[in-house]
């Protein structure tokens, strides 16, 4: 859900003098950064330094905006590899960062009176049915009798 909000944010047309839509503005980054999990650096085997989250987010947004496959993310952008961006997106999704961002933006828009809830739609693929439907019994056989044994 939260990713669709980001895609909408960056789907607006770019005018002359504006930054490309995959460059994260400071005001948006200030909202996103606290929602992302902090990964401590290992002391025993530190390895390569982790790429900055803001750069990785730019790479993720570039892939979402252009529609290119992850493996074709240009290294010249400085956003890391496509696999790095994909893994970070997966980790952030699992940590619930996008869901929290979505809820935060909805709360702000609702408080400002900018949402028209009469036009809201609930998609069944995103809403879990907690009680579920009635449990079906075992299907009744329509055959008059059991088949004779062939052995």
pLDDT tens-place values along the chain, 151 residues long: 455 555 555 555 566 777 888 888 998 899 889 989 988 888 888 788 889 999 999 999 999 988 999 999 998 889 999 999 999 999 999 999 888 888 988 898 899 998 888 887 777 666 666 666 666 677 776 767 666 776 6
Q: Give the integer Cα–Cα distance in Å for 41 and 38.
A: 9
Q: Which residues contact 39 (CB under 8 A, 6 or more apart)?
A: 50
Q: What length does the chain have? A: 151
The reported pLDDT for the residue numbered 117 is 83
Q: Which residues contact 12 (CB under 8 A, 6 or more apart)?
A: 21
Domain that includes residue 82, residue range? 1-11+29-36+50-114
**Residue 93 placed within a domain:** yes
**Residue 122 placed within a domain:** no
Count of Cβ atoms closer than 10 Å to residue 89 Cβ: 20
**Residue 7 placed within a domain:** yes
The reported pLDDT for the residue numbered 8 is 53
Q: Give the integer Cα–Cα distance in Å for 39 and 18.
A: 32
Number of structural domains, the chain? 1
To the nearest 10°, report the CA torsion of 125, 130, 134, 136. Answer: 70
**Residue 83 placed within a domain:** yes
**Residue 132 placed within a domain:** no
**Residue 92 placed within a domain:** yes
**Residue 119 placed within a domain:** no
> Please, what sign has the CA dihedral across residues 74, 75, 79, 84?
positive
């Amino acid at each position: 859900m939260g990713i669709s909000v980001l895609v909408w944010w960056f789907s607006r047309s770019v005018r002359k003098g504006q930054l490309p839509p995959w460059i994260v503005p400071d005001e948006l980054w200030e909202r996103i950064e606290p929602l992302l999990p902090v990964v401590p650096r290992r002391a025993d085997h530190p390895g390569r330094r982790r790429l900055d989250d803001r750069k990785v987010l730019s790479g993720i947004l570039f892939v979402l905006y252009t529609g290119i496959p992850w493996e074709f993310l240009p290294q010249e952008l400085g956003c890391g590899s496509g696999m790095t961006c994909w893994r970070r997106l997966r980790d952030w999704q699992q940590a619930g960062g996008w869901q929290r961002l979505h809820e935060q933006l909805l709360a702000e828009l609702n408080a400002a009176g900018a949402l028209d809830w009469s036009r809201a739609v609930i998609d069944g693929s995103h809403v879990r049915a907690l009680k579920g439907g009635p449990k079906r019994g075992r299907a009744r056989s329509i055959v008059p009798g059991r088949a004779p044994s062939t052995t």
